[in-house]
């Protein structure tokens, strides 16, 4: 008996260059068309720790009744394909979907690459002396123009750069490089020497040093790239990859004020011991309807729930992915240790005055985009996604010795210049929401201006509660002159530009 197993489940994603078209630097892929099994540009979600239902958009089945019918329908007609909604819960490792929930796809509304800040250092360990002809592993770099380039290095036992050379979807043939494995190599050290020579022939790699069967690779140019990974086809190179230092890239994320939004293709698999029974689907045009980030002391690590809407899906008859992305080798943000404040950059502040409660037990940040899908003649599924009203909300639970936030809550709102604020306040209520692992190379900072306090509890405590706690909900208020409530959003991370920028 072959029963679907937990370890056989896969959920990957990639950014779409245009709506419904998965990222492809070779521009060979078509929109709303299943991906090849060897598609090499999938990315992992942050750790998915709980079961989730992925609802696949399918053609509606419409029962048809006639006055002359009896108790049951006389016909079943096919209708349209309605968009479906599903939520994926994750432990927050990189939170790229949080910043992408704010941005758009048009000039002045999309992610901008600010700088490449740190080089990746990774260690490749080889355990097979002579990989089979045509087996390969994948390798990415940042080139001199600050753009990600994708390479594959393959085993050439004929040493003619032709026989058995693999063709890989989304990687240019000029970047599919042969490694001389004729001979055969005496051992894995000799193989690693051959790989080292080929790596150092790539413009942008000068440090690939082999010790026995282990290569430590440092690329020339700083920047976030996906680590090297072994192909899943055949036995491949049998190379193990570990990252010593992740590359880092910094992005500036403007809050979009138009209706565009980033879209993604997802690839989902439930594998079976009998391959013919695999359930494999591609979901196109997925957009972020909402995201909730939960920083709760009791949870120990930061969590997020991402709600997607998807208008179209196809069963992927090409089968399971043979070029899986590497797992994210990054720890999740620890809750309170990761949430940072500094002078003038507080979780809650009145102008620059700190109004954060004396103790904070929980912070939940929510962004909702209110996605609407648009249809077109001749097409059964929705062909465009548009964002509506953006709702931003923050809930804070803690304890305080001051009543100022309650004063903000009860105040009457009046005009003050171009902004509205409570009559009793001296300035707008603002927030710097900063999750940080490393102050230089790994943090997310969102500056939010002009909160409206929509809820504030007025609780009297009993002896077991001991002290009064406060539970406050902030909502987005009036925007600035550009219509934005997000003043600034900076993201420096190991997430590469193939996800962040179209």
| pTM score over 0.95 | no
What's the gap between Cα 257 and its chain centre? 21
Going by the DSSP 8-state scheme, the letter that residue 150 receives in this structure is E
Contact 39, 325 (CB under 8 A): no
Residue 51 token pair: 């079961």
Indicate the pLDDT class of residue 235, thresholds 50, 70 and 90: low
Q: Does residue 35 have a pLDDT over 90?
A: yes
Count of C-beta atoms within a 10 Å radius of residue 175: 16
Going by the DSSP 8-state scheme, the letter that residue 20 receives in this structure is T
Q: Mean pLDDT in the chain?
A: 92
Q: Does residue 427 have a pLDDT over 90?
A: no
pLDDT per position as a tens digit, 118-160: 999 999 999 999 999 999 999 999 998 999 999 999 999 999 9
Q: Which residues pair with 87 in a beta bridge?
A: 307
Residue 74 token pair: 């006389």
Residue 170 token pair: 């989304």
Distance CA 378, CA 372 (A): 19
Q: Which residues pair with 138 in a beta bridge?
A: 152, 229
Residue 115 token pair: 């700088």
Residue 396 token pair: 């804070």
Residue 490 token pair: 């900076």
Q: Does residue 423 have a pLDDT over 90?
A: no
Looking at 42-105, which runs of residues are DSSP E strands?
A: 43-44, 59-64, 75-81, 84-91
Q: According to the model, what pLDDT value does residue 43 have?
A: 97
Q: Does residue 1 have a pLDDT over 60?
A: no
Distance CA 328, CA 43 (A): 9
Distance CA 338, CA 343 (A): 16
pLDDT per position as a tens digit, 325-377: 999 989 999 998 999 999 999 999 998 899 999 999 999 999 999 999 999 99
Name the residue among 494, 445, 501 with its Cα closest to residue 111: 501
Indicate the pLDDT class of residue 17, thresholds 50, 70 and 90: very high
Please state the rounded mean pLDDT for residues 263-277.
94
Residue 100's contacts (CB-CB under 8 Å, 6 or more residues apart) are 111, 253, 262, 288, 499, 500
Residue 270 token pair: 């439930």
What's the gap between Cα 370 and its chain centre? 19
Tell me: cis bond preceding 373? Omega within 30 of 0 counts.
no
Q: What is the dihedral of CA 239, 267, 246, 173, to 10 degrees?
A: 60
Distance CA 436, CA 331 (A): 12
Q: Which residue has the higher pLDDT, 378 or 425?
A: 378
Please state the rounded mean pLDDT for residues 314-334.
94
The rounded percent of the chain whose pLDDT value lies above 90 is 77
Going by the DSSP 8-state scheme, the letter that residue 228 receives in this structure is P
Contact 218, 225 (CB under 8 A): no
Q: What is the dihedral of CA 446, 452, 454, 455, to 10 degrees?
A: 70
pLDDT per position as a tens digit, 430-470: 999 999 999 999 999 999 999 999 888 877 777 777 888 88
For 372, the enclosing helix (H) or strand (E) is strand 371-374
Distance CA 431, CA 489 (A): 12
Q: Which residues pair with 288 in a beta bridge?
A: 308
Contact 359, 467 (CB under 8 A): no
Q: According to the model, what pLDDT value does residue 103 have?
A: 95
Angle, vertex CA 298, rays to CA 294 and CA 302, nearest 5: 35
The rounded percent of the chain whose pLDDT value lies above 70 is 99
* Sheet of 205-211, strand order: 205-211, 214-219, 121-126, 239-245
Indicate the length of the chain as a whole number: 502
Name the residue among 161, 140, 119 with its Cα closest to residue 247: 119
Q: According to the model, what pLDDT value does residue 234 have?
A: 63
Tell me: cis bond preceding 496? Omega within 30 of 0 counts.
no
């Amino acid at each position: 008996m072959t029963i679907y197993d937990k370890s056989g489940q896969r959920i990957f994603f990639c950014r779409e260059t245009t709506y419904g078209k998965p990222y492809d630097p070779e521009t060979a892929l078509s929109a709303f068309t299943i991906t090849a099994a060897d598609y090499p540009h999938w990315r992992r979600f942050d750790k998915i720790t709980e079961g989730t239902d992925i609802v696949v958009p399918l053609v509606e089945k419409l029962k048809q009744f006639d006055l002359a019918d009896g108790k049951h329908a006389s016909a079943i007609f096919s209708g349209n394909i309605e968009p479906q909604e599903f939520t994926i819960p994750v432990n927050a490792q990189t939170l790229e979907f949080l910043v992408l929930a704010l941005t758009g796809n048009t000039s002045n509304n999309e992610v901008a690459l600010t700088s490449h800040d740190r080089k990746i250092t990774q260690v490749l360990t080889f355990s097979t002396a002579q990989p089979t002809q045509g087996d390969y592993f994948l390798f990415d770099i940042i080139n001199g123009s600050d753009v990600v380039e994708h390479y594959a290095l393959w085993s050439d036992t004929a040493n003619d750069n032709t026989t058995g050379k693999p063709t890989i979807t989304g990687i240019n043939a000029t970047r599919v490089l042969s490694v001389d494995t004729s001979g055969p190599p005496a051992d894995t050290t000799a193989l690693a020497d051959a790989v080292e020579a080929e790596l150092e022939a790539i413009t942008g790699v000068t440090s690939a040093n082999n010790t026995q069967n282990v290569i430590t690779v440092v690329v020339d140019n700083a920047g976030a790239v996906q680590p090297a990974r072994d192909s899943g086809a055949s036995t491949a190179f049998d190379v193990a990859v570990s990252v010593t230092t992740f590359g880092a890239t910094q992005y500036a994320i403007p809050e979009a004020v138009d209706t565009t939004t980033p879209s993604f293709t997802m690839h989902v698999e439930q594998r079976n011991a009998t391959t013919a029974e695999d359930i494999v689907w591609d979901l196109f045009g997925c957009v972020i309807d909402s995201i909730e980030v939960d920083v709760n002391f009791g949870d120990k690590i930061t969590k997020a729930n991402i709600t997607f809407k998807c208008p179209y899906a196809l069963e992927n008859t090409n089968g399971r992915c043979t070029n899986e992305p590497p797992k994210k080798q990054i720890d999740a943000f620890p809750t309170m240790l990761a949430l940072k404040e500094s002078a003038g950059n507080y979780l809650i502040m009145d102008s620059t005055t700190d109004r954060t409660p004396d103790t904070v037990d929980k912070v939940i940040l929510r962004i909702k985009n209110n996605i609407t899908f648009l249809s077109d003649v001749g097409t059964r599924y929705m062909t465009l996604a548009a964002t509506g009203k953006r709702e931003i909300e923050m809930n804070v639970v803690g304890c305080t010795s001051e009543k100022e936030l309650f004063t903000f809550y009860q105040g009457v709102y009046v005009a003050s210049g171009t902004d509205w604020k409570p009559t009793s306040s001296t300035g707008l209520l603002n927030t710097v929401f900063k999750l940080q692992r490393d102050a230089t190379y790994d943090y997310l900072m969102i500056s939010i201006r002009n909160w409206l306090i929509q809820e504030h509890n007025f609780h009297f405590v009993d002896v077991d509660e001991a002290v009064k706690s406060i539970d406050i909900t902030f909502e987005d208020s009036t925007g600035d002159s550009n219509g934005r409530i997000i003043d600034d959003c900076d993201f420096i991370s190991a997430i590469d530009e193939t996800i962040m920028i179209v």
